[in-house]
Structure 1
Amino acid sequence: MVDFEILTPELNQKFHKDGYLVIPGFLREDEITALLTRSKELLDEFSLDGHPLTCFTTDESGDKKHIRFFLEDEAFGEDGKLNRPKELAVNKMGHALHELDPIFRSVTLENPRLQQLVLELGFHRSPLVLQSMVIFKQPSIGGQVPEHNDSTFLYTDPPSALGFWFALEECTPQNGALSFLPGSHLRNPITKRFVRLPEGGTGFESLSAPDPLATSSPSDYKQEPCEAGTLVLIHGSVLHKSEKNTSPHTRYAYTFHMIESGATYDAKNWLQPTPEMPFSPLFSLPPLVARRGGPSD
């Protein structure tokens, strides 16, 4: 661990009040450079031969044995072929970079500052790391991400998802900086979850009826432009979104999530651990309570 405080009591309180927290300068310059360089190397190494040339879906992305690449909607012409170089067509790559690549692993699982932050935040007792990816937000075509919360897609009982979102480049209103609905985690319950369907594929399962009074407007959202190296903590229940990248610049970000090992994570969830690659404990101590596992994929 580190020998200094990362979160003041005031910052901790702000996270629990707003449902997110922006921490500038969390990544060092050498870490930013290493993550950017490795991301670009992986893009260069990615071959289109044999790739289905499809956009992001969760039907195949639960495979954690390999780094997978997913393409932007607008990267295709009317003929179904890519209309730009592959390095400007990929929407994201994931979903187990923290396990499959040593550079991402060092920032995620072998990072004393991150471990210290998690201890100070007190959100988890025995956290597990899952779903790590780089989101590229390509120039002019980087798609809009509509209003959502992360616990819908990484559902546990009780809800325990927490997002870690690292800006690897400057994030601006033009290239798709994140926007949040402050406090929405306190008044918007999780009403649905994203699951593997019995008949195959994925879809939403209702948990409760949405509250008709729990509405929001764009003016309620707060956009959070930030510099490279910034860490944004994202409560699993807080509503957030990002707009389309209309700029000529990329907006690289590295993100992963944690859940509580003592919470139930069952076989319905679209992303599943495997015997070869279980979800990764952040700390070396064993989880406090065993999880229910799911089928291998």
Structure 2
Amino acid sequence: MIPRFDASEFNGITPEMRDAFERDGVLVLDGLVSAEMCALLQNRMNEMVKGFDAREHRSVFSSTSEAHAQDQYFLESGHEIRFFMEEEAFGADGQLTKPLHLALNKVGHAMHDLDETFSQFARQDRFRLICRGLGQKKPLPLQSMYIFKQPHIGGEVVCHQDATYLRTEPESCLGLWVAIEDATTENGCLWGIPGGHKTGGIREAFRRAQDGDGTYTERLDDTPFEEDKKVPLEAPKGTVLVFGGKFPHMSSANRSDKSRHAYTLHVIDGSAHYPADNWLRRPPRLPLKAL
């Protein structure tokens, strides 16, 4: 069983936390974020959604298809704030079958640098303590996402490793996954494979094509994920799940009548090399800023 830690009075990574992270590949910190802060992020996202014109952009995000990866709207999202729809949000006629706020899959990927509310949240002292306590010398927030996991249509996310998409040499990616709402087995919580970061290497590399206009996935390691060993990572509102780039995790579709909002911040170590063929590229006008 993956241990849980009461982090309501968190002021640094303890030896017990570090041991759990190194053994399991994931750290469960209950109560790290207050209910008031969760509400603040949710309200700010509601404001952002109200200002989005769905008629202008129809980009769909799916972890089972790479069609979105060839979309310039997606490829430019590393330095913008972009909105992505659920696959099941559109009918056969191409029109939305749900109100906009119930049709979005996620918003990403640079709001931690471009939106004041999310920037202040991402750069809090507790997150800096987590990243440094788990070995990062120069924590650099690279991407962030607000994930809706909509009622009835929230899509499946297949088993994957974050280092597939955000590679450094040596591998240094940390994901901080914040439960904005309760995440349960009913509404599509994350599942992970304890110790799976030690079995095999990084399975795939998601790369930019040399011309910069497309992407492709290269298979690096054929070792299968041991999905029969996966366990649910249920997370009450305010819980933060911290996992390394090699930790295999996934989530099932949400067929319940409850949404599962979450905010994810991915942080890399600025002392590591960031290969130029990563999909996420920042223009000189928006360099990465320290945590």
Q: TM-score, normalised by structure 1?
A: 0.87
Query: Does 2:264 match 1:276?
Result: no
Q: Which residue of 2 aligns with 1:97?
A: 111
After the TM superposition, which parts of structure 1 deviate over 3 Å for at least 4 consecutive aligned residues?
3-6
Residue identity opposite 1:181 in structure 2: I
Q: Which residue of 1 aligns with 2:6?
A: none
Unaligned regions of 5+ residues in structure 2, if any? 1-8, 62-67
Shift of 1:205: 2.2
- State whether residues 188 and 237 of structure 1, in contact with CA within 8 Å, keep that contact through their aligned partners in structure 2: no
Query: Does 2:192 match 1:180?
Result: yes
- State whether residues 169 and 252 of structure 1, in contact with CA within 8 Å, keep that contact through their aligned partners in structure 2: yes
Q: Which residue of 2 aligns with 1:117?
A: 130
Q: TM-score, normalised by structure 2?
A: 0.89
Residue identity opposite 1:18 in structure 2: D
Shift of 1:135: 0.4
Whole-Å separation in 2 of the counterparts to 1:65 and 1:126: 20
Deviation string 1:164-219 (CA, Å, 9 cap, x unpaired) is: 1000000011111000000011122013210112353111123x3413xx4423x3
Query: Does 2:101 match 1:80?
Result: no
2:226 to 200, 216, 222: 216
What count of residue pairs does the alignment treat as equivalent? Answer: 273
For residues 56-67 of structure 1, the aligned pairs below 5 Å read 56=61, 57-58=68-69, 59=71, 60-63=73-76, 64-67=78-81
- Over the aligned positions, Cα root-mean-square deviation in angstroms equals 1.6
Shift of 1:115: 1.7
Shift of 1:156: 1.2
Deviation string 1:248-291 (CA, Å, 9 cap, x unpaired) is: 11111000111111222122111012111112211xxxxxxxxx
Unaligned regions of 5+ residues in structure 1, if any? 283-297
Query: Does 2:68 match 1:54?
Result: no
For residues 1-297 of structure 1, the aligned pairs below 5 Å read 5-51=11-57, 53-56=58-61, 57-58=68-69, 59=71, 60-63=73-76, 64-109=78-123, 111-121=124-134, 123-198=135-210, 200-206=213-219, 208-211=220-223, 214-217=224-227, 219-282=228-291
Whole-Å separation in 1 of the counterparts to 2:196 and 2:10: 31
Identical counterparts, % of pairs: 38
- State whether residues 26 and 244 of structure 2, in contact with CA within 8 Å, keep that contact through their aligned partners in structure 1: yes
Residue identity opposite 1:173 in structure 2: T
Whole-Å separation in 2 of the counterparts to 1:117 and 1:215: 27
Shift of 1:8: 2.2
Shift of 1:116: 2.2
Shift of 1:75: 0.4
SS state of the match for residue 31, structure 1? helix
